[in-house]
Chains A and B, each alone.
Chain A
Amino acid sequence: MSDFDHPLKKYFRNGINYKTCPGCGNGIISASILRAIDSSGKDFDSFAFVSGIGCSGWIPSPFYNTDVLHVTHGRAIAAATGLKLALPEINVMVIAGDGDTGAIGGNHLIHGARRNINITVITVNNRIYGMTGGQAAPTTPRFSPTSSSPFGTIERPFDLCRIVEAAGGTFVARWTTFHTRQLSATIRKALDHKGFSFIEVLSQCPVHYGKIEGMRGNAPAMMEQLRDNTYVWKPDTVKNDKIPVGIFVHEMGIPEMTSEIERLRIKAGYHE
C-alpha cells in the first residue's frame, strides 16, 4: 500500500494530518475543494487561500501547500480583496466560517459581492461557534439551546445565500457535506466564474451542534439530516419546509472589479 498515495496528498504541506474533532465536516469540504482544483488542471501554485478564525480557517491553514494567508476573525474577504487587486493573475479563494462571513465579517461579505471582485468564497456553515465551545451563531436555527443561549436562541437565522444575492453576488450556491459531488462540481464552476462567487456549505459539527439535535458525536446521522432537510432548488420548485440547495445565481457579463481597475488605469493615462 505504501506505493500508493491519496490522490489529493500532493496538495498538502506535510501530509494529510487534520486534527479536527471526530466526524467534522472540514475533511469532506477540503476534499471537495481540492478535487475541484485537481479537475480544473490549474497549477496549485496559482492559488492563494485566505482564511479567518474558527474551525473553518484551518482547512487551508497551514495544510495547503501553496500561499496561505490566515488573518483576523471576519476579515478574510477584506484581506483577499487587497491580495486579488495586487495580484489579479492568481486564483484567490476564501475559506471561512458562518461567524466569519455572517457575523463579525458580514459587512465584508456584502461589499465583496457588491464589488463583484473575482474571488471565490466558501462559507462553512456548521450553524454554531465550534472552536470556542458551541455558542449561538447568526445561522443557528431559532429556539436552539446553545452554550450561550440556555433557554434557546430568540433570533432568526440568516440565509447567507439570499444576503449575497441581494448584495449583488454573481455566483451564489449552497450544498451540504452530504452533496460532495455536487459541491465539487459547483466549486469547479465557480473557479471559472469571472466575478464574486459564494458557496455556502452546510456542515456538521457533531460535538457542539450535534448535541442540540440529540446527535452528539453522530456525524452520519447529522449528514442524513442534511440530506433529508434539503431539496435541490429549481426556479419552479420551492419547498418552504426545506432548505434549498443548488446554484441559485450564475450571472455572467457583470463588470468585475480587477478588470474595472484596469479600465481606470487606462482612463488615467497609464501605460505599462
Chain B
Amino acid sequence: MGNLACAEGALAAGCQFYAGYPITPASEIMQHMSGRIFQEGGTFLQTEDEIAAMASVIGASWGGAKAMTATCGPGISLMQENIGLAVMTETPCVIVNVQRGGPSTGSTGLSSQGDLFQVKYGSQGDYPVIAIAPSSPQEMYEHTIWAFNKSEKYRTPVFVLSDRLVGHMSESVDFYLPEDINIENRKIREKYDGPGQEMFLSPEGVAPMPVFGRGLKAHVTGSSHYPDGSRNVADAELMDYIIKTLKNKIERSLKDISLTEKEYMEDAEIAVVSWGSTFRSCLSAVKDCRSMGLPAGSFRPVTVWPFPENEIREISEKVKTIIVCENNMGQLYHMVRSAALDKAKVVFLPPEKLGTLIKPARIVEKVREAL
C-alpha cells in the first residue's frame, strides 16, 4: 500500500519523530509509524489535533530529530499556521498530504488533486514550498526519502502531495538497502559565536541550524527577524529581505530541487501535462496515441512546487496544444496557462467524474480533437 511505503520511506530517510491525528485516507501512515518508529528508536505522538501535530513536529525538529506528519486536506487546513512558522523559522520537516475529495469534510472515500494550491498558498504571506507528487506506491517510498533529504538540506518544509488513489494503491514496492540510499542531514552550527551569530536567512546558501540543547543559544521566532534571530516587526527593509531571501533559497537551487519527466516529447504536437496519480492515465494514453500514430507527448512535473515554469514555456513554443489533466477543477492548469504565454493553446481535462481516476480513452479522444 502506498501509505505503508511512505512510512517505510520516512524511516529509511532517518525519521525519528512522527506526530499526527487520525484522518482518512492518511491514517495507515500513522498506524504503521506508531509501531515501527519505536523499533528504530524514534518517537511517535498522537496529538490532540493537527495543529498540535505540526507544532510538535517543529519542536522536535529544533530538538534535532528528523520529523514528519501526515494528513489530508482538512488536516492541512489546521496545520497551515505552523507550516508558515516552519517556513519562517527554516525548520526542516516533511508533511504528507494524502488528498481526498473536498471541500470541507467532503468525500473521505474518494481521491482528488484539489489541494495543489492549498499546500502552496494556504498559510499567510509570500513564501516558497517544495512539493513532490508521487504516482505509485514505489514513488511514495522514494519521494518520502527525497522529501526528507531536501527538507534537511534547505531547512524548509517539504510536502509529499499524494492522494487517496496512490495512498491506498497496492503494488509491489522495492525497498532499498540502507547503503544504497543517499541520506542528507542538516548542517548544524558548530559552536556558539556570541551575539550576532548567523542562525537564519543566509544571503547565500543555507545557514547551519542552531539545533537546541547544544549551548548554541538559538533564538527562533516566527516574527520578522534578522539573521541572528533578533526580532523587528516594523521594518520594511527587513521584511523585504526575509521574503526575498526565503524565496531565493529555493529558487537558486532549482536544478537540485525541480524534477520533471518527459516521454515522447521530442516530436510531440500535443503535450499532455499531468501530475501525481493522474500521470498514470496520461502516460498510458500517450502510449496509446503513439501506437495509433498520434503525435502526443507526456510532461510531468514530479515536483509540482516549485512549478517548472521555464520548461512549460519551452514546451509551449514547440507544441500546438497543451492538455492539462488533473483531478480537480483546474489548478495546475492555471499555472501552465500563465507559463505558456499564449504560445500554445492550453486546454483543461478533468476526469469525467471528479474523484475518480481519468480514463486513458478520454485523454486520447481529447488529443484527437486537438490535432
Residues of chain A whose beta carbon lies under 8 Å from any beta carbon of chain B = 13-14, 45-46, 48, 50, 61-62, 65-72, 75, 78-87, 89-90, 107-108, 110-111, 261, 264-265, 267-270, 272
Query: If the complex has contacts A48-B212, A69-B59, are A82 and B67 also in contact, measured as CB distance less than 8 A?
Result: yes
Residues of A within 8 A of B55 (CB): 71-72, 75, 78-79, 81-82, 108
Contact B49 A107 (CB under 8 A): yes
**Alpha-carbon gap, A270 to B36, bound state (A):** 10
Specify which of B48, B61, B82, B85 lies most central, judged by the most chain A CB atoms within 10 Å of its CB.
B48
Contact A72 B60 (CB under 8 A): no
- For residue A67, which residue of chain B has the nearest CB? B212
Contact A270 B38 (CB under 8 A): yes
Contact A79 B59 (CB under 8 A): yes
Query: If the complex has contacts A48-B213, A85-B60, A87-B63, are A62 and B229 also in contact, measured as CB distance less than 8 A?
Result: yes
Number of interface residues of B (CB under 8 A): 46
Contact A86 B221 (CB under 8 A): no
Q: Which of B58, B81, B216 contacts A67 (CB 8 A)?
A: B216
Query: If the complex has contacts A75-B51, A87-B63, A87-B64, are A82 and B45 also in contact, measured as CB distance less than 8 A?
Result: yes
Q: Which of A14, A72, A87, A111 contacts B212 (CB 8 A)?
A: A87
Contact B39 A270 (CB under 8 A): yes
Q: In residues 13-60 of chain B, which contact A (Cβ within 8 Å)?
A: 16-17, 19, 35, 38-41, 43, 45, 47-49, 51-52, 55-60
Query: If the complex has contacts A13-B217, A70-B222, A107-B48, are A82 and B230 also in contact, measured as CB distance less than 8 A?
Result: no
Q: Can you identify 25 A-B contacts, CB atoms within 8 angstroms?
A: A13-B217, A13-B219, A46-B213, A61-B231, A65-B217, A67-B218, A69-B220, A71-B82, A71-B85, A71-B222, A72-B55, A72-B82, A79-B55, A81-B47, A82-B45, A82-B57, A84-B59, A85-B17, A85-B45, A86-B16, A87-B63, A87-B213, A107-B48, A111-B47, A265-B41
**Alpha-carbon gap, A267 to B35, bound state (A):** 10
The digit string for B175-194, where 1 denotes a CB below 8 A from any CB of A, is: 00000000000000000000
Contact B52 A86 (CB under 8 A): no
Residues of A within 8 A of B219 (CB): 13, 61-62, 67-68, 70
Top 7 A-B pairs ranked by shortest CB distance? A86-B63, A82-B59, A82-B56, A78-B55, A83-B59, A268-B38, A82-B60
- For residue A61, which residue of chain B has the nearest CB? B221
Specify which of B45, B65, B195 lies most central, judged by the most chain A CB atoms within 10 Å of its CB.
B45
**Alpha-carbon gap, A84 to B231, bound state (A):** 25
**Alpha-carbon gap, A69 to B82, bound state (A):** 13
**Alpha-carbon gap, A75 to B83, bound state (A):** 12
Residue B62 interfacial (CB < 8 Å): yes
Query: If the complex has contacts A82-B58, A86-B17, are A75 and B213 also in contact, measured as CB distance less than 8 A?
Result: no
Residues of chain B whose beta carbon lies under 8 Å from any beta carbon of chain A = 16-17, 19, 35, 38-41, 43, 45, 47-49, 51-52, 55-65, 67, 81-82, 85, 195, 210, 212-213, 215-223, 229-231
Contact A78 B52 (CB under 8 A): yes
Minimum C-beta distance from A264 to chain B (A): 5
Minimum C-beta distance from B329 to chain A (A): 31
Residues of B within 8 A of A85 (CB): 17, 43, 45, 56, 59-60, 63
Q: Which of A72, A81, A111 contacts B85 (CB 8 A)?
A: A72
Q: Which of B39, B45, B58, B229 contacts A79 (CB 8 A)?
A: B58
Q: Can you name 14 extra interface pairs (CB under 8 A) apart from A69-B212, A69-B218?
A: A62-B219, A67-B213, A68-B220, A70-B231, A72-B81, A72-B85, A75-B82, A78-B51, A85-B17, A86-B63, A267-B38, A269-B39, A270-B40, A270-B41
Residues of A within 8 A of B45 (CB): 81-82, 85
Query: If the complex has contacts A48-B212, A62-B219, are A83 and B60 also in contact, measured as CB distance less than 8 A?
Result: yes
Minimum C-beta distance from A80 to chain B (A): 6
Residues of A within 8 A of B60 (CB): 82-83, 85-86
Minimum C-beta distance from A13 to chain B (A): 6
**Alpha-carbon gap, A205 to B64, bound state (A):** 37
Minimum C-beta distance from A93 to chain B (A): 13
Residues of B within 8 A of A78 (CB): 47, 51-52, 55-56, 59
Contact A268 B39 (CB under 8 A): yes
Residues of B within 8 A of A265 (CB): 38, 41
Residues of A within 8 A of B229 (CB): 62
Contact A86 B231 (CB under 8 A): no
Contact A62 B230 (CB under 8 A): yes
**Alpha-carbon gap, A82 to B223, bound state (A):** 20
Residues of B within 8 A of A75 (CB): 51-52, 55, 81-82
Contact B59 A80 (CB under 8 A): yes
Residues of A within 8 A of B63 (CB): 82-87
Minimum C-beta distance from B100 to chain A (A): 24
Residues of A within 8 A of B65 (CB): 86
**Alpha-carbon gap, A110 to B217, bound state (A):** 30
**Alpha-carbon gap, A82 to B85, bound state (A):** 15
Contact B43 A86 (CB under 8 A): yes
Q: Which of B35, B218, B230 contacts A268 (CB 8 A)?
A: B35
- For residue A63, which residue of chain B has the nearest CB? B219
**Alpha-carbon gap, A45 to B67, bound state (A):** 23
Residues of B within 8 A of A70 (CB): 219-223, 231
- For residue B218, which residue of chain A has the nearest CB? A67
**Alpha-carbon gap, A271 to B370, bound state (A):** 61
Residues of A within 8 A of B217 (CB): 13, 45, 65-67
Specify which of B49, B52, B82 lies most central, judged by the most chain A CB atoms within 10 Å of its CB.
B52
**Alpha-carbon gap, A161 to B55, bound state (A):** 24
